[in-house]
Structure 1
């Protein structure tokens, strides 16, 4: 029963032991550097209610002689580590709480004591604990000015020597239900409970649930808490203490049933040990005498591997080695992934920018990246950056699509009335096939665009009845002229026929402005991942952006006014070509009913040649039979149609070149050129600081990320 650790390790080869020892040492190094705050580390944690015998158990298992009659070490977690080393010594230090202030961290990390052996430690331990309490700020009778009853700092006791076996156990303060007046409070109770939860919730933690055998396990809060975070019981090992206090036969039988797995089973099972009592003075050499109890009935019927401190120590060593070997490669992968992610988050914050020079350099770098995206977007060079996986950054493609929609919508819907079909001018009506191309566009995500965006995206199709409408214009607009069609009458007809140009053009400009604005906002986010700086840049640009958009819209409306409100005029030869073609086709169509045929013999041909002709008097009747009103109406119609074709094509091109391309894309005042290095250089120091300056939140986040990157790099080097 009192067999040593060495006698019970036959299940491991020397090679396996060396591997586990090396890995356990590395995990302890990670724990010392607080890597456990980033990801769970394999560990054994002893938890239990107050007075459960937990500290005595740890003393028995680890050989560290905790002072009798004191509960000082239960005010904080205590990490006891055994490590093989050429020299024999015991080192005492403090691991600061994960998020300790720089001042507190410096203070506790400076504490260090070293002893030659356990005898020296036992003699000096009370004084050491007094020093530790002062350093941590624990309030005790010897340190009445301390601020805290409990601390999240960790006392580390490292026992090294050539014969030591790797074992690390963490002792967590015991859960208590009743407060002690003047010592503990409800806040202390909650703090201890939360501390226990923080340790046991990690999936790589083996929970040593220390339970006094003389108390019904069903009433032990710590076991219920362990079950909450280890529902399957796969990583909870029960340790029953104080069996010597059991007197009744039924109570002993109940405890034996637990150890044998017949009651409230755990996958890792229950162990039973007898610790040194509070008034016992014997040392570990007399451990076997204490455990003579297990040679008595009914304890003698329990399996040897479940009884006594020696068996428990072997099992704990094996468990820690197993979970460490299983987790080791996974931890390395997790650390590498975490380092990559942390570096990316740190890069997104950019370089430190406390001075105006750093701030200007930071913003200038962002502006340079932004202009690179602008150039690539305008050239459709989408392979230049991964950012273009977002379709809304493919700016010139969106503009081309919008312009094609504009051209198609203009051909189909821009005229108020349908022109009269004329055989031979099939291109007149090809644009009327199919529905309109513009659809409703949602710009609610960009309320700053406000009134620039049209609200109604519908456009009525052209109506029939153009000749009746032209007759009304002719009748109501006649003046004293030598001809039937005056320039004013044609201008009036063109204004009426082009009345929808303004609406369609506003729709087109709204679509292109939205595409440009989306690109700017999303491109800014892509080159500046810090949301605060991104918002500040966008906020500083919005007024000038809106001004640029308004200029583009005004330019387009000027083109609408020039085309629709001025006297029709063009030097484009297609106007005359269209007029001549229209008149020729009209004359042909009017004469066709009067065409006659005659067969004429030809001396060189076998069959007679058929000739077609129209009698002169028929030609005169076709030309002369029209009244002034009819002639004027047809003349206005034909002239309007010929001019409308030329004007519409010219207008669509001009709107793109002068309003969209010049004002929004490539002109000197393009909003795409606004956020540039030149703009950054023009900021005064105050404005610069308001945009690029770091607030305390960013400063703190940068410091945490920098520390995390350093810690993770060091951890990867250790592994």
Structure 2
């Protein structure tokens, strides 16, 4: 049972002048910053039965219950805090590898006004962790014991479960691995001081704690060795000499050196009233025999407290600048991650507000890009691929131009000419005679009641359908390309105005389905335009058609005119007489006469007229079709509706269930936001604590310099241990 505390022994660990520095670190620990960042602390480690619990008792002045190895089944954090009232609080800090809310360990919190019920509280905590006779033997959860009082200094000591060498009936292989994993995780924390406890009862070479210490602290810069039970060695024996050599740092070298303690025999002596007696017996033991040859600073609990105080304070002072930098870095990283999650969206109103804000930005950017206004910061360099894709009006304009050029060059099936033929590509170049043969064949196969030499109007429609048959493939390809560009454009817009979780949901549940509908509408409209040309009799009132047909054979007149002009070396052929070789000639009449075609039969003449009328109508219909695709399909069915896909009105009408699916946070997101928010709060408070301490120390240093300058003789030597000066903090980058 815990009956009393040795205040004198506790006060030996830190003086009042140095307590301010320890208070700052302890305050950080109380804020919970040690969940995210390693803090200076004392870790007591050793093999099972090495006497580490007795070391902990001697250091802290707190006698621990030893019944059934009560406090060795899990890490035990002893927190001594200075408060006006005295009390004991026992809680459990769940292991961070699983969600503590699932088993309720985070709720375990018990308080005592006295100390008599402390062993029962620890036993209750064991049960909460699942440590029972029939259950598991060890736990990674940490038992936190806070002992408060007006005369208690701030100090944290971690007692680790003893390292197990091999499995037994009560300790399985799993237990061996678990204990080693837990101990190593604490020892690896770079700001922890490791007290490696070695029992003189066993050969130190066989004690696992030394191997662990050298693994995690290769240079030995933050490890201090502690030899216990030296009274078990036979005086003058080889074993005693070996351990004395170890204490001299000759066997296993640690920068912090070694210390030797004589433990209180916990098997025969119990109670804190005997702690002072142990000190007397310890001093008597080290005053004789071979151990007295060691420096007094290496012997006994009083000297160990002094050494630990000095080491801990120096380490805190050394680590403080890097601790501040690590906190600042953690803050920046956490804030950036929280920013990526966006605003919290728990209720329907919050979700709808978020979507309304997204829709306003979405609609503004889409309307600007569709209208060709690119002054928003969203639009990147137009020379880059992304910047060009963001300018949808420019993209569509260029695509429409390419479409017009392509369908003009390759939209007809046959063309009179002698160019080389490209395989599988329109048009097919044929002579006029071959073309007329095809027309005449069509007339024969579709003959009706018309007289010889007269062609049926239906022939023109059939010829036109054949001639314009490539239109569909070219037009549908253009529509699909334009739609693909719109899809890419909207993806860029939504990624810009919404965080990743919302943008992905909007793309999946709103934007892509709406775009598929637009594509369907555009394809239907394209089919309608094609049908108006292919399924309806050719109709036009365009004056250009009448002018073209008014001059039969005008297509060949131009060809003949070019031949005559080239033959005589003329730039043009006028309607009147032209002077050539000292004579006047009417070359225009010559061209007219040459271009008059005399067909051998009336049917051939009818085929020629049908071909001319089909070609005249084709070029008029082609212009109309190009404009129809550009205006009625691309513009009206794809571009114009884009801004309405995610308009504020559409969001306002959105059902609550849909809004929750899109903008509602997932459990994972909410949990992550909660963890990040908590971490940011803890780190921010911790940073404030560090900055206040540094500011206070700088101010004290300035005041001290002013006092020294005024000739005041102040003894400040005891403040120099481990306290960072102004120059120290400036050199370390502390602001």
Band of TM-score, shorter chain: 0.7 to 0.9
Alpha-carbon offset, residue 61 of structure 1: 2.3
Task: Tell me how far apart the structure 1 counterparts of residues 535 and 146 of structure 2 sit (CA, whole Å).
Answer: 93
Verify: 1:378 aligned to 2:370, yes or no.
Answer: yes
Task: Tell me how far apart the structure 2 counterparts of residues 616 and 341 of structure 1 sit (CA, whole Å).
Answer: 81
Distance 1:104 1:654, change over 3 A: same
The residue aligned with 2:265 is 277
Task: Tell me how far apart the structure 1 counterparts of residues 287 and 245 of structure 2 sit (CA, whole Å).
Answer: 17
Task: Tell me how far apart the structure 2 counterparts of residues 321 and 698 of structure 1 sit (CA, whole Å).
Answer: 36
Superposed, 1:399-414 pairs within 5 Å as: 399-414=396-411
Verify: 1:674 aligned to 2:666, yes or no.
Answer: no
1:677-709 CA-partner distances (Å, limit 9, x unpaired): 433444555555565566655554454445444
Task: Tell me how far apart the structure 2 counterparts of residues 571 and 23 of structure 1 sit (CA, whole Å).
Answer: 97
Task: Tell me how far apart the structure 2 counterparts of residues 129 and 547 of structure 1 sit (CA, whole Å).
Answer: 72
SS in 1 for 2:100: coil
1:460-517 CA-partner distances (Å, limit 9, x unpaired): 3533325355223222133657878765444444333322221122222222222333
SS in 1 for 2:161: coil
Distance 1:151 1:342, change over 3 A: same
Distance 1:189 1:631, change over 3 A: same
1:193-240 CA-partner distances (Å, limit 9, x unpaired): 443344234333343333324434443334444455445555444433
Alpha-carbon offset, residue 364 of structure 1: 4.2
The residue aligned with 1:463 is 428
Task: Tell me how far apart the structure 2 counterparts of residues 231 and 468 of structure 1 sit (CA, whole Å).
Answer: 97
1:594-620 CA-partner distances (Å, limit 9, x unpaired): 8699xxxxxxxxx99966514799567
Distance 1:7 1:710, change over 3 A: closer
1:511-533 CA-partner distances (Å, limit 9, x unpaired): 22223334445655555546489
Q: Does the 8 Å contact 2:345/2:663 carry over to 1?
A: no
Task: Tell me how far apart the structure 1 counterparts of residues 546 and 561 of structure 2 sit (CA, whole Å).
Answer: 18
Q: Does the 8 Å contact 1:5/1:314 carry over to 2?
A: no
SS in 2 for 1:173: coil
Verify: 1:622 aligned to 2:583, yes or no.
Answer: no
The residue aligned with 1:604 is none
> Residue 328 of structure 1: which of 301, 323, 327 is its match?
323
Task: Tell me how far apart the structure 1 counterparts of residues 155 and 411 of structure 2 sit (CA, whole Å).
Answer: 85
Task: Tell me how far apart the structure 2 counterparts of residues 368 and 282 of structure 1 sit (CA, whole Å).
Answer: 76
Superposed, 1:686-701 pairs within 5 Å as: 696-697=667-668, 700-701=671-672
Q: Does the 8 Å contact 1:467/1:637 carry over to 2?
A: no
Q: Does the 8 Å contact 2:366/2:643 carry over to 1?
A: yes
1:441-464 CA-partner distances (Å, limit 9, x unpaired): xxxxxxxxxxxxxxxxx9735333
Distance 1:150 1:197, change over 3 A: same
The residue aligned with 1:94 is 91
Task: Tell me how far apart the structure 1 counterparts of residues 441 and 88 of structure 2 sit (CA, whole Å).
Answer: 110
1:151-205 CA-partner distances (Å, limit 9, x unpaired): 61432335666794x6432222223356676x76666555444433442343333
Superposed, 1:218-297 pairs within 5 Å as: 218-230=205-217, 233-247=220-234, 249-266=237-254, 268-278=256-266, 279=268, 282-284=274-276, 287=279, 290-291=282-283
SS in 2 for 1:215: coil
Task: Tell me how far apart the structure 2 counterparts of residues 8 and 702 of structure 1 sit (CA, whole Å).
Answer: 41
Distance 1:5 1:495, change over 3 A: same
The residue aligned with 2:439 is 474
Q: Does the 8 Å contact 2:356/2:648 carry over to 1?
A: yes
Q: Does the 8 Å contact 2:86/2:150 carry over to 1?
A: yes
> Residue 157 of structure 1: which of 146, 155, 166 is its match?
146
The residue aligned with 2:73 is 75
The residue aligned with 2:625 is 651
Alpha-carbon offset, residue 550 of structure 1: 0.7
Distance 1:77 1:385, change over 3 A: farther
CA RMSD of aligned residues (A): 4.9
Task: Tell me how far apart the structure 1 counterparts of residues 213 and 434 of structure 2 sit (CA, whole Å).
Answer: 89
Task: Tell me how far apart the structure 1 counterparts of residues 71 and 29 of structure 2 sit (CA, whole Å).
Answer: 19
Superposed, 1:380-529 pairs within 5 Å as: 384=376, 395-420=392-417, 460=425, 462-465=427-430, 467=432, 469-478=434-443, 480=450, 487-520=457-490, 523-524=493-494, 527-529=497-499
Q: Does the 8 Å contact 2:413/2:427 carry over to 1?
A: yes
Task: Tell me how far apart the structure 1 counterparts of residues 538 and 68 of structure 2 sit (CA, whole Å).
Answer: 106
SS in 2 for 1:44: strand
Alpha-carbon offset, residue 323 of structure 1: 4.9
Task: Tell me how far apart the structure 2 counterparts of residues 624 and 578 of structure 1 sit (CA, whole Å).
Answer: 15
Task: Tell me how far apart the structure 2 counterparts of residues 140 and 539 of structure 1 sit (CA, whole Å).
Answer: 46
The residue aligned with 1:425 is none
Verify: 1:663 aligned to 2:633, yes or no.
Answer: no
Distance 1:591 1:712, change over 3 A: same
The residue aligned with 2:338 is 343
Task: Tell me how far apart the structure 1 counterparts of residues 156 and 136 of structure 2 sit (CA, whole Å).
Answer: 30
The residue aligned with 2:157 is 169
The residue aligned with 2:530 is 560
- Give the length in aligned residue pairs: 649
The residue aligned with 2:308 is 313
Q: Does the 8 Å contact 2:201/2:229 carry over to 1?
A: yes
Alpha-carbon offset, residue 575 of structure 1: 5.6
The residue aligned with 2:55 is 57
